[in-house]
Amino acid sequence: MGTIGDAGEFGLIARLTRRLPQGSDVRLGPGDDAAVIAAPDARVVATTDLLVEGRHFRRDWSGPYDIGRKAAAQNLADIVAMGARPTALLVGFAAPPDTCVDWAETLYDGLADECRVVGASVAGGDVVGASEITLAVTALGDLGGAAPLTRSGARPGDVVAVRGRLGYAAAGLALLDAGRDGPAELLAAHRRPEPPYAAGDEARSHGATALLDVSDGLVQDLGHIAAASGVQIDVDSSAVPAPEILGPDGQHHALTGGEDHAFAATFPPGTVPPAWTVIGTVAEGAGVRVDGREPPTGAWDHFPT
């Protein structure tokens, strides 16, 4: 029942690290100036995200376990989206001194459990005081000798395909915002995305030319591929899965909602892996067209006015 202020920096670190199993990629875990992680490929893939209370999560809408799962998932998905295998997370945790140690411990359980899904570990981090809860998650990964799967390799004639749920998290967020308490599947999708991590290996082994995880919304993220690759992407909205559970705004959520951490990729024709859904094509030009028109707006802006 104690607070992290009572536990103190070193007491809190001791209580949190005790809950963090260290996998075989971790050569030196928490407790020194830095961690040491295996990087057998002789390159390391690295990404970092900040999650701020009230903007990226709400404690009245999500419990600490789900917040931890989600914070880990969104960074692990970025590693997988490079075609790499996640090896470790580093987690910076800022919180008011009156935050319960229990809350922090449960958050770290969520981080550790999401890492376990992909065989990674929480290998290091930092804890500091702050007036709002902030999580800074860095994920590391290994390419295993392959070239990174970037956003810049899409070529005219490729097809565009997706793997994973689209619009579920956005629909769940809209429900919470409206004070609704179901459908449970959508609320759960907002609280704890379940990225289909196998997508990275599938995309790589089937010769994907570009890959990313959908974090800002499908149309906006396809725009990143179009810009980086110097191509136009044409989406057929009727091919984008928008099941009935998403409600009347289902297609809008599926096209613009982020945070499900589905994967989107481009493949040469005829090479799309079985579990993927073809939703469009790559052409010469620029930008994204949906059914031949300018796409809908409504994607996530991190600095809303």
Task: State the sign of the Cα–Cα–Cα–Cα dihedral 260, 263, 269, 270.
Answer: negative
Q: Are 72 and 125 in contact (CB under 8 A)?
A: no
Residues tagged in the binding site annotation for ATP: 108, 125-126, 151, 215
Does position 9 interact with its own copies (CB under 8 A)? The reply is yes
Site string for its own copies, 22-61 (x = CB under 8 A): -----xx--xxxxxxxxxxxxxxxxxxxxxx-xxx-----
Does position 265 interact with its own copies (CB under 8 A)? The reply is no
* Upstream peptide bond of 183 is cis (omega within 30 degrees of 0): yes
Does position 81 interact with its own copies (CB under 8 A)? The reply is yes
Measure the CA dihedral 192/73/208/164, to 10°. -10
CA distance 219 to 224: 9
Does position 297 interact with its own copies (CB under 8 A)? The reply is no
Shortest approach of its own copies to residue 86 CB, angstroms? 10
Name which of residues 197 to 226 contact its own copies (CB under 8 A). 212-213
Does position 286 interact with its own copies (CB under 8 A)? The reply is no
Residues tagged in the binding site annotation for Mg(2+): 33, 47-49, 78, 126, 213, 216
Query: Element (H or E) spanning 17, and its range?
Result: helix 4-17
Does position 131 interact with its own copies (CB under 8 A)? The reply is yes
Does position 145 interact with its own copies (CB under 8 A)? The reply is no
CA distance 171 to 189: 9
Shortest approach of its own copies to residue 248 CB, angstroms? 29
Side-chain-side CA neighbours of 10 within 13 Å: the count stands at: 2
Residues tagged in the binding site annotation: 33, 47-49, 56, 78, 108, 125-126, 151, 213, 215-216, 259, 300
Shortest approach of its own copies to residue 125 CB, angstroms? 6
Shortest approach of its own copies to residue 238 CB, angstroms? 28
- Sequence-ordered list of residues with C-beta below 8 angstroms from that of 270, at least 6 positions apart, any chain: none
CA distance 139 to 120: 9
By beta-carbon proximity to its own copies, the closer residue of 242 and 265 is 265
In this structure, the number of other CB atoms found within 10 A of the CB of residue 22 comes to 16
Q: Are strands 277-283 and 232-235 parallel, antiparallel or unpaired?
A: antiparallel
Does position 68 interact with its own copies (CB under 8 A)? The reply is no
Does position 173 interact with its own copies (CB under 8 A)? The reply is no
Region near its own copies per CB under 8 A, out of 74-82, 102-110, 175-183, 278-286 = 74-82
- Token readout for 8 is 């103190």
Does position 100 interact with its own copies (CB under 8 A)? The reply is no
